[in-house]
Amino acid sequence: MKKKIIVQLPLTAKEAPGWDEKSTDLPTGDFALIQERYRLELDALKSVNAEILEIPPDNVENLIEAARDADAILVSWGVYLDEAIITQLDKCVILAVGSVGTDMVDVEAATRAGIVVTNTPDVFIEETADHTLMLLLAAGRRLREIDEIVRKGQWAKGRPILAKLPRLWGQTLGIIGFGNIGTAVARRAKAFGFHIIAHDPYVSELKITGEGVEPVSFAEVLERSDYLTLHTPLSTETTKLIGSLELDVMKKTAILVNCSRGGVVDEPALIDALENGTIAGAGLDVLEKEPPHPNNPLLSLSNVVLTPHAASATTRMRPAGRERAAREVALALQGKWPMSAVNPSVLPRTPLVRWQPIPMMRGPNR
């Protein structure tokens, strides 16, 4: 019997496989077209007798009707999968997200329902680290302001502005969240001569010091950083992690960089800090509301560099994320633990079997 896999079409048609920007967002039932559009997914699923069914975006009723007897869902931003939807998934084994963030799924509700949620934490590491350094350098060297000066024919005004800034060499870079991306950022930042400090309560000091980075407390990383970059997931623990109290503790010359999730920063507090000189500037790839409202003050501040939640965007992004998510589905539908469950506590309650070897460099896996 074939396994039924739902593909949740994204709200932006150009992000769907095989579609261009002029395509409509209507799903297709054409078998040949499905085979062509999802050749990457189907190749990753070749160990499973699977069929793929597209569901249009932004239609909860259609999603529930189609997914009620589905074995898996490849998740996009078409519909937020909340508890009301998840509780009606009678056969679903896995919700596979093709990105690092899983904030398009109510992970706690999925855990209660016994459904595994996976992400792709090892796909976009290098791209996001590159983008982080780009924003750090652009914000630190006041690229937006300097670029505008040149374009206005005020060439001579640029050098005096930059002459007031300290060189990067010897500055302190603080990293909050020392996972894959935070580690990759640290490795790149060494080439610029930064002293690097990091805070992550879920990463051992041995891991941090092994990268030549100084582990510090949350208070220390705020107080000591000349540049502070955020690489945490969005959760109840990290929502508005950086607010007015935290910004007040930071140096007035500090630059904040965020390539994680917009909700990690209290945006009104950040705007106030940037307008009043509490910190010197920011480089932001993510915002609380995306796209931002045209009247969002961040759009007009000269000490802010913005990019459109695109840190991972390269020619590799979509194919790699799609293939990796499909491989997770294949493992789960073969009855095996996936590689990157974001709710691992659910795994012992499923009929899935652990097949990965137990690593010997750590204690018991509890």
- Those residues whose C-beta lies under 8 Å from the C-beta of residue 148, and which sit 6 or more positions away, are 302
Q: Hey, what CATH class is 3-123+315-349 in?
A: alpha beta
Q: What is the CATH number of domain 125-306?
A: 3.40.50.720
Collapsed DSSP state (helix, strand, coil) of residue 96: strand
Catalytic residue among 261, 322, 324, 327: 261
Per the CB < 8 A criterion, the answer to whether 209 and 216 are in contact is no
151 in active site = no
- Please tell me the predicted confidence (pLDDT) of residue 366: 32
Question: For residue range 242-278, what is the model confidence (pLDDT) as tens digits?
Answer: 999 999 999 999 999 999 999 999 999 999 999 999 9
Closest CA to 115 of 303, 288, 343, 359: 343
- Please tell me the predicted confidence (pLDDT) of residue 137: 98
- Please tell me the predicted confidence (pLDDT) of residue 152: 96
Question: For residue range 281-311, what is the model confidence (pLDDT) as tens digits?
Answer: 999 999 999 999 999 999 999 999 999 999 9
* Gap between the Cα atoms of 333 and 3, Å rounded: 8
* Gap between the Cα atoms of 37 and 18, Å rounded: 5
**Tokens 């012992």 label which residue?**
348
Q: Give me Rg for the CA atoms of the chain.
A: 22
Q: Residue ranges of the alpha helices (H) in 212-316?
A: 218-224, 244-249, 267-276
- Please tell me the predicted confidence (pLDDT) of residue 77: 75
Catalytic residue among 205, 290, 316, 354: 290
* Gap between the Cα atoms of 298 and 271, Å rounded: 7
- Please tell me the predicted confidence (pLDDT) of residue 20: 46
What are the start and end residues of each CATH 3.40.50.720 domain in the chain? 3-123+315-349, 125-306
Count of Cβ atoms closer than 10 Å to residue 150 Cβ:
11
pTM recorded for the entire structure: 0.86
Closest CA to 73 of 91, 60, 99, 49: 91
**Structure tokens, 173:** 């870079």
- Please tell me the predicted confidence (pLDDT) of residue 356: 84
- Please tell me the predicted confidence (pLDDT) of residue 35: 87
**Structure tokens, 267:** 């945006």
Closest CA to 298 of 333, 258, 330, 260: 258
State how beta strands 172-176 and 195-199 pair: parallel
Return averaged pLDDT per consecutive 10 residues of the chain, 366 residues in all. 87 50 60 86 93 86 92 88 96 93 92 96 92 98 96 95 95 96 97 98 95 98 98 92 98 98 97 98 96 96 96 88 94 95 94 82 43
131 in active site = no
Closest CA to 288 of 271, 305, 312, 311: 271
Collapsed DSSP state (helix, strand, coil) of residue 128: helix
195 in active site = no
Mean pLDDT over the full length of the chain: 91
Q: Is the dihedral of CA 7, 10, 13, 17 positive or negative?
A: negative
Per the CB < 8 A criterion, the answer to whether 215 and 205 are in contact is yes
Count of Cβ atoms closer than 10 Å to residue 352 Cβ:
21
